[in-house]
Structure 1
Amino acid sequence: MAAQLDVQKLGLVFQARPDLLAGIQNAADTPARTTLFNDIASFVFERLSSADAQDGPASKRRRVDIAQLPTQTQPNGHGPGRVPLVGIEAAALSADAAVADPVLLEVKDISVTAPQRKKYDLCLTKNFLYARASGTSVPAQGIVYPWKDIEHAFYLPAPDKAQAQYNYVLFPRGSYLPTAKQANANPSDRQQTPEPFVFTVPATAPKPGSVAGPSSKAAEAVSDTYSSLFHWALTTSMRTAGNHSCRLTASDPKLFHSVARQPHRPNEKAVHVKAFRGSKDGFLFFLPTGILWGFKKPLLFLPLDRIVAVSYTNVLRTTFNMVVELDTDVLGDANSFIEKEIEFGMLDQEDYRGIDETYVRRHGLADRSMADQRKAKRELAENSKKSAAGDEPAAEEGEADGMTELERAQHEAEQQLQDEEDEEEEDYDPGSEGESEGSGESSEGDEDDDEAQGDSDEDEEEDEMGGL
């Protein structure tokens, strides 16, 4: 009988190094190598067990270390709590707990785009969602998410795809707001919060044999498409784990859609607009619960209850920028360095009306564009109206405030050129000469009337003097 790898023991030994485990499985192509790898795993496992017998299990040591940490106010403001683990230690603890939790549902061969871009098998347990490479038994590094820690979940069409595909976006607690880079920041602090989890599914039904696990029978009733399967699996898992605050939110073309047609799917309304954040291009989704930026890292979600104001800047003929001001005075954000203003650039001006009237005003978001530092909204609204009427947008005098120096100079140059053209048109008016002569005659007539009026006044004065 051919020797087989002791996958269970290897998984326990190399659970922190899934890359080594995968390499071992690929290299175990002969009975001799398989036996050698099993012997190595047994030896290392015995040494680890011996160390645990002397010092206590690693998980117990971690619990002791956590219990000895000082208390502090939790980020959610729910009172005192333990200082959270950071970096590699927290990730290892989550991976250990996830491996010990039996897999209830496994969906194979799913395209993950964040935090890593690769195809994985997604595993759903009672307490965790994680991804693992095909043929392995341990989670991929950095892709372990406790159900109770997921704060926002979204279901969005994947932009710029010829075939309909959909993205699931899961934000762990505290991972969705933009944080400013700090020069003296501790590198380990940057690992404290896991990255958002994004995976993509087609509009088709799951492939035969791709769904496994004890819950696969229950999943058959909702497996008409990948979307219906994951809608059921994600929602049920979060509720079972006690996470009742997070709901799966989908985009709604009735709430917002772009006026631009999608060349690859022209009959489908785009629920996103193209934009830039710095030098990175991406997409903005205006959702029932807030504004999402994807799918370039770092992904962002700006909840409606954290948005203080929406303003518009850098208004050009075809594009404009949008600035979202956030409320940073929230308990727990003091050490997070949350950015107060986030600017998205190069939005198509055709989408201004939909963004401002359909979304910003509908949700009662304050508009501070007419403040001293920004006065471009009036010009943008006028340009939008003229564009809708088929006219070229033109700025009116007195509305150049708030422009950059370059935009102001361009505006003045265009205005001067327009004035010169108006003067030339007046010079070549064939009726101008006759109008000038008529105007002169009118002036002489006015002078005669003034003289007559003056004589009449003098006569009245003489009569009055005579009366005295």
Structure 2
Amino acid sequence: MAFATINSSAPASLPAIENAFAAEPGLKKRVYDAIAHTPQHAPLFEDIARFTSSLLARPADSSVQPVELVSDGPAIKKRKLQNGDAPVNAQAPGDVKADAPLQFYMQDVSFAVPQRKKLTLEITAGNGFLRARNQTSKEVEFGVPLGKIQHVLCLPVPEKNQRQFNFCIIPQYGDGVNPPPEGSPPVEAIVWTVADGPPKAAFSGTGKQLGTGDGETADKIVQQVLNDNLSQTKVVRPDERQFVSAMPEAHRKGEKAYHVKAFRGSKEGYLFLLSTGILFGFKKPLVFFAFENVDSISYTSVLQRTFNLNVVARPTATDETQEFEFSMIDQADFSGIDTYIKKHGLQDASLAEARRAKRYNVNNVKTEDDATNDAEGVEEESELQKAQRELEDEEDEDEEDYDPGSGGDTDGSGSSSDDDDDDDEDEDEEDGDMDDGEEGDRNIVAEELGSEAEDVPAEES
């Protein structure tokens, strides 16, 4: 009874402890258990928690850049970070507010870009940041403000026996098309992977474990949290109405594939054709072509089994264009890709007289005139359709030149002498027809017998 009394008097939560041990639910639970057994030590634990929070916040308040604090590795890695050749991400760790209260976090998340390691994924409250924290040193390694995220994609990972999803965070100037302003550090996308199933360690900011209910998979939980915290964009997933590959997923029988394999130079990757643009991933650097940045698309090296896709992109802040070539795409997916390009009004440069820049605002509501223009654009022919039409036109011309009365014994390759013989035969036939017509008007007997015919009595005839 005494233990029950002490336990019932324990506080439900203490702000200092919540902030200090938000990323360590196990340790936080042990602290609360200790306070429940010895409530007189609660002030001591709160002081320890405040001191811990101050240690976590120290990198953000220090004038020394986090590069000097994080890396214990070789000097070459420090030089890369200092020169900007290998950027951590859009924001330095000190800019993502390491002391901000958490709204969501998930432990043991496998990140692929910009670093390949397991980290704790965190989303903070208030101004809002998405960041990754080292699970050993407890330091924030990279992150981005939620307000600077332009696109979020959740895509199935191709060619895996077990179904997985890649979340791709495309921040401003991190799409591989729009360069950052001059003097600004390079920006990279963020990519992490979650399995298709309940998360192992996902928690709300208050420490409540998520994913315990039916149907609460890791990808759906992360998607819901991101949608709740993003106002300028939402999570985009592949849609069969946009594009689906003609070839099913080879490693998971019966499952549809939403990607096509392609090469950019010698680098192999996957193209995803989505409702907001085209992504090439998942290796560094990722490239995302938003519709408003696509200047034109053309097909080149169209062979029996493969073809190349050329995307000319135009950054928002300049008129200069850059061409990206993706090669060795399977011919089986040509029809689906061509339909996708026409559906979104993307210019097919292989048919255009000149590459004309046309920017599409995908967020505006289309007017009736816009819908008419889109309908006219859909009727434009693809390269293969044009070749097929020209072939049919040639066949129609041959049929018009063909004369059924010219006989069926010739092979169609006769010489001019044959034509002359045909003309002579036609003249003979015309002469014969004329003679038959005139015989009806002449006395044939008189012409044959001459004067003898005059001596024959009429009645004997």
TM-score range, shorter chain: 0.5 to 0.7
Q: Aligned to 2:257, which of 270, 274, 281?
A: 270
Superposed displacement of residue 102, structure 1: 2.0
Letter in 2 for 1:167: N
- Equivalent position of 2:222 in the other structure: 230
Please say if 1:161 is aligned against 2:138: no
Superposed displacement of residue 19, structure 1: 3.6
Please say if 1:445 is aligned against 2:425: yes
Q: For 1:119-177, what per-residue CA distance to the aligned partner results, in whole angstroms no more than 9, with x for missing partners?
A: 1111221121111221322211xx21111111110111011111100010111112114
Q: For 1:443-463, what per-residue CA distance to the aligned partner results, in whole angstroms no more than 9, with x for missing partners?
A: 65357679999xxxxxxxxxx
SS at match of 1:260: coil
SS at match of 2:334: helix
- Equivalent position of 2:202 in the other structure: 211
Q: Would the aligned equivalents of 1:131 and 1:144 in 2 still touch at CA under 8 Å?
A: yes
Q: Would the aligned equivalents of 1:155 and 1:250 in 2 still touch at CA under 8 Å?
A: yes
Letter in 2 for 1:360: I
Runs (4 or more) in structure 1 with deviation over 4 Å come to: 6-11, 13-18, 20-23, 87-90, 220-223, 395-399, 435-444, 446-453
Superposed displacement of residue 280, structure 1: 1.3
- Equivalent position of 2:235 in the other structure: 248
How far apart, CA to CA, are the structure 1 residues paired with 2:383 and 2:228? 49
Cα 1:228–1:448 change in 2 (3 A) is closer
SS at match of 2:295: strand
- Equivalent position of 2:33 in the other structure: none
Rg larger for: 2
How far apart, CA to CA, are the structure 2 residues paired with 1:248 and 1:325? 26
- Equivalent position of 1:283 in the other structure: 270
Cα 1:21–1:442 change in 2 (3 A) is closer
Letter in 2 for 1:287: L
- Equivalent position of 1:173 in the other structure: 172
How far apart, CA to CA, are the structure 1 residues paired with 2:120 and 2:320? 34
Q: Would the aligned equivalents of 1:320 and 1:346 in 2 still touch at CA under 8 Å?
A: yes
Q: For 1:222-266, what per-residue CA distance to the aligned partner results, in whole angstroms no more than 9, with x for missing partners?
A: 78211121012212233xxxxx11111111123210001222112
CA RMSD in angstroms, aligned pairs only: 4.3
Please say if 1:107 is aligned against 2:110: no
Unaligned runs of 5+ in 2: 1-47, 75-86, 356-380, 395-408, 434-461
Q: Would the aligned equivalents of 2:107 and 2:120 in 1 still touch at CA under 8 Å?
A: yes
Letter in 1 for 2:329: L
Please say if 1:342 is aligned against 2:324: yes
Q: Would the aligned equivalents of 1:106 and 1:211 in 2 still touch at CA under 8 Å?
A: yes
Superposed displacement of residue 366, structure 1: 2.4
Q: For 1:319-347, what per-residue CA distance to the aligned partner results, in whole angstroms no more than 9, with x for missing partners?
A: 1111223344x4xx24xx86433222221
Unaligned runs of 5+ in 1: 24-86, 239-243, 387-394, 400-429, 454-468
Aligned counterparts, 1:2-151, within 5 A = 11=56, 12=58, 16-17=67-68, 19=70, 91-92=91-92, 95-126=94-125, 127-140=128-141, 143-151=142-150
> Which of 1 and 2 has higher RCO (CA within 8 Å, sep 6+)?
1
Q: For 1:374-393, what per-residue CA distance to the aligned partner results, in whole angstroms no more than 9, with x for missing partners?
A: 9xx8653478x89xxxxxxx
Cα 1:97–1:279 change in 2 (3 A) is closer
Sequence identity, in percent?
33
- Equivalent position of 2:337 in the other structure: 355
How far apart, CA to CA, are the structure 1 residues paired with 2:88 and 2:245? 42
Superposed displacement of residue 105, structure 1: 2.4
How far apart, CA to CA, are the structure 2 residues paired with 1:380 and 1:289? 26
Q: Would the aligned equivalents of 1:206 and 1:225 in 2 still touch at CA under 8 Å?
A: yes
Cα 1:20–1:262 change in 2 (3 A) is closer
SS at match of 2:343: coil
Superposed displacement of residue 216, structure 1: 3.8
Q: Would the aligned equivalents of 1:180 and 1:338 in 2 still touch at CA under 8 Å?
A: no
